Structure 1
Amino acid sequence: MSLRTGETIKFRSVGERTEYAAKILSADEDTIVIETKPGARPELSAGQYVILIAAETNYNAQIMSADASQVRLRWLRTDKQEYFRVDDFFPVVARKVEKNLLDTKASMTVTFSKEAIDRSPPDETIHPKLWDLLVSLDEKLNLILDRLNLEPEPVEAEPQQVNISASGIRFMIKDKVEQGDMLEVKMLLPTTPMVSIVAYGQVVSSECLGSAGYVVAVQFVNMDSEVRDRLIQYTLNRQREIIRKQRQLE
């Protein structure tokens, strides 16, 4: 659903439960201006994160400026476009960053293996296609352990279960994070060649699983169009692969 000028909505600050009424003065693809009654809302300031609520749909935004009655915001995400999501298994590491890094663009690096591996089966008892698959997996795992690090201390990242789309990712993290925190997320897509992506996003949910850590959902912000297109392509290809394997098992 698109927000319309003149529409009455509710909003709340990230991490807060109290909702306040507001009227939309203007809205476009990048910004939105809302009007509130003087004294009928909490103190708001530039840089603060809020959630706009309209017809049971949530929209995340960041305040650009605020005076006694009007608030100007920019979108962090809208639900105007939904991206395809898939469950997957690959390495992800993340760390908290300052919110002023919100303007930092996502980046992408295509990685190649430095050593050529003999793809010939060691003997006739191993099917060539199976051996080729095993060699490909070995190449990918070696790159995973070699390439994906966090500064300043190198950290080997084990593959884990994730749910990913071009708009966000859900994964496990050891360190405590809360809704509204900003994260730098590094991931290594198991493609050929492999693609390393560094993205930034806002934590929209965080569930503690005890000593195992936290399951966090991160909404990407300021996503570079090239990186977004690569993620769209990757999730579509993964879905086709999943469907093909399911049909082979039937």
Structure 2
Amino acid sequence: MNYKRDERREFFRIDDSLSLSYRQIPADSLPAAIERLENEVDSDFTVLSSLTAVTQEMTGTLHKIELSSPEIAVYLKSLDKKIEILGRALLTQSTTLLNQPTQAVNLSASGISFQTSRFVEPGSILELKILLMPSYAGILCFAEVVGCDGVEADPSGRTHRLRTNFLNIRGRDRDVLIQHVIQKQGAQLRKAREALELSGGG
């Protein structure tokens, strides 16, 4: 594994739009909360994230199958799609995040910042639920508040910019998050390049 390359990817930052919720938890309850997250079977909220991680792990094998047996590859992709549909159905039953508007965030595999309606003391520990778009991969993790500054209110009336660093995030969820950031960054770079070419600057 190329650790230096993965570390660089981990700290790519992007502006994104997603659904999230958070709640503050006492610092002394964090070890038990982390243990539950690491040891419990996936909840309905996190099942799509785990499925996405498995799909990413299968990418290389599936590519080989496509080269040797295209029809089998198509069949396997169809099965993957059916499983994804079931995962989304479970997600619909388990969270209200699907029904709330997305919000602008700044995101990397090491942390997230977003606007909130109230001041949160730096050093506070948060349980975060993050719903990535358009994959609907749900990530449950814990983060430490490193800053909370008053800013101009956004359209929803949120008046503070909350900055966090992840304290604990499952390995498979971090992999999904890194891949999400890379894909979003690639799409943003392509869009910027196309805009430059249309303006005659390319």
- TM (norm. structure 2) is 0.58
User: Helix, strand or coil: the match of 1:212?
Assistant: coil
User: Is the Cα–Cα contact under 8 Å of residues 207 and 214 in structure 1 kept in the other structure?
Assistant: yes
1:237 corresponding residue in structure 2: 183
1:1-250 pair list within 5 angstroms? 83-103=11-31, 104=34, 105=37, 108-110=46-48, 148-149=95-96, 156-192=99-135, 194-209=136-151, 212-249=158-195, 250=197
User: What is the Cα deviation at residue 85 of structure 1?
Assistant: 1.0
User: Helix, strand or coil: the match of 2:48?
Assistant: strand
Q: Deviations over 1:135-183 (max 9, x none)?
A: xxxxxxx999876438xxxx95321110111110001122331101111
Higher strand residue share: 1
User: What is the Cα deviation at residue 83 of structure 1?
Assistant: 1.5
User: Is the Cα–Cα contact under 8 Å of residues 162 and 171 in structure 1 kept in the other structure?
Assistant: yes
User: Is the Cα–Cα contact under 8 Å of residues 170 and 216 in structure 1 kept in the other structure?
Assistant: yes
User: Helix, strand or coil: the match of 1:84?
Assistant: coil
| Cα distance in 1, alignment partners of residues 115 and 95 from structure 2 | 16
User: What is the Cα deviation at residue 101 of structure 1?
Assistant: 3.8
| Cα distance in 1, alignment partners of residues 107 and 130 from structure 2 | 11
Alpha-carbon distance change, 162 to 146 in structure 1, aligned in 2, over 3 angstroms: farther
Bigger relative contact order, structure 1 or 2 (CA pairs below 8 A, ≥6 apart): 2
User: Is the Cα–Cα contact under 8 Å of residues 89 and 162 in structure 1 kept in the other structure?
Assistant: yes
User: Is the Cα–Cα contact under 8 Å of residues 93 and 157 in structure 1 kept in the other structure?
Assistant: no
Residue identity over aligned pairs, in percent, reads 29
Q: Larger Rg: 1 or 2?
A: 1
What 5-or-longer segments of structure 2 have no aligned partner? 1-6, 52-87, 198-202
| Cα distance in 2, alignment partners of residues 237 and 229 from structure 1 | 12
What 5-or-longer segments of structure 1 have no aligned partner? 1-79, 113-141
Q: Deviations over 1:166-204 (max 9, x none)?
A: 110001122331101111111110133x20111111100
- TM (norm. structure 1) is 0.48
